[in-house]
Structure 1
């Protein structure tokens, strides 16, 4: 285990504040299909960067001999260990922009994490070096034509989605989801996000992973690349 230093603790406070409700929402709205449909041919060891409460890591553990899952938030990792532990999963507290893992991986995944990184091209180059020959990169992240959307847009969107969510998840779950989406801690977090546009996303990821292909999923963009 990597011991957290003061920088990690300081940066993880925002995530810790909403970890429990984030886990509820992420579990309800899991998008693991994008990843499980694009697994690597070799099923040795997988890396999940920004694993949150371990939803994707736990799914990958069904396919891979070993899964390393890293996240900045101690509270997120506590929930992951409590709810989604497995003999072949190792959860590590670590900053995704300063990965220090002396090993190679057959699959490297990440969901909605990289828009937080201060120097994305450098981080992607470092991650690329950790991939085994014939390994696979599968990333999914938010995109927006507005770098930081206005908070009021998130509030309006949450209210708009309430009735459809009631139909899909039931009134009680939809109500809890709405409260999370308009909670001060979550809105404060969203106000700090910096998103790439679709054009910027394609340019940065395409430059690092030549020959990759992209999949647009609503307000998310996926990138898939195999190390041939």
Structure 2
């Protein structure tokens, strides 16, 4: 069991609660391929994106290394055409290809991006797409106090948007020891690093800067 797996196991239920309130799958839904037979969600977490994609695709496969996350996914976001699997994203193992491969806020946890991208390219059908959304920062690992200050600053806006009870639960999650320990292990790429690394691995891909994240779209043409 690796560190990331342990960390997400410890926060699975609260992570799903917070993510459900703030969930926005627009980037992935607006960039789907024309053919919608099979989709792979890498780092599916508690299944929020997989759940929405299941309304468009005939078959959805969601993979994650956290058993607790997958249990939440199966309990809260299960549909008949979704399969959740415990699988390390660095060792993808599938017999069939996909029309769409997606990943949200997962790649900053991974060690060998080039190997994973090569595997993804081998698994995507002709005219299929790879779409990745991940954190971007000029500082590789932010200090813990930045996240605590952020949680404090967001509390009132969250009260207005979600109500006091939900805002308090979000705040407690965001400053909890397990979540802060997880954030302390994150390693983000700078904007230029995205262009350098993904531009080489996914020739002719498109980049979209979206505040805290960068989106990447690559079509297998």
User: After the TM superposition, which parts of structure 1 deviate over 3 Å for at least 4 consecutive aligned residues?
Assistant: none
- Partner of 1:108 in structure 2? 101
Aligned partner of 2:80 in structure 1 is: 87
Q: What stretches of structure 2 of length at least 5 have no aligned partner? A: none
Match in the other structure for 1:211: 204
- Match of residue 3 from structure 1: none
Aligned residue in 2 for 1:168: 161
Instruction: State the shift of 1:11 in Å.
Output: 4.9
d(CA) in 1 for partners of 2:120 and 2:109?
Answer: 15
1:139 maps to 2:132 = yes
1:31-70 → structure 2 map (5 Å cutoff): 31-70=24-63
Shift of 1:100: 1.3
Unaligned ranges ≥5, structure 1: 1-6
After TM superposition, the structure 1 stretch with the greater mean CA deviation from structure 2, 117-126 or 147-156, is 117-126
Structure-1 separation of matches of 2:218 and 2:116 = 16
CA distance in 1, matches of 2:108, 2:96: 25
**Hey, what's the Cα distance between the residues in 1 that align with 2:196 and 2:169?**
38
In 2, distance between residues paired with 1:221 and 1:94?
Answer: 25
Distance in 1 between the 2:116 and 2:37 partners?
23
Query: Quick one: which of 210, 217, 227 aligns to 2:220?
Result: 227
Q: TM-score, length-normalised on structure 2?
A: 0.98
TM-score of the aligned structures, taking structure 1 as reference length: 0.95
User: Please, what is the CA RMSD of the aligned residues?
Assistant: 1.0
2:70 is equivalent to residue 77 of structure 1: yes
Contact 2:4 2:109 in 1 (8 A): no
Question: What's the offset of the Cα at 1:84?
Answer: 1.0
Distance 2:4 2:207 in 1: 30
C-alpha distance in structure 2 between counterparts of 1:47 and 1:71, whole Å:
11
Cα deviation per residue 1:146-190 (whole Å; 9 max; x = unaligned)? Answer: 000000000001100111111111111111101000000000000
The number of aligned residues is 221
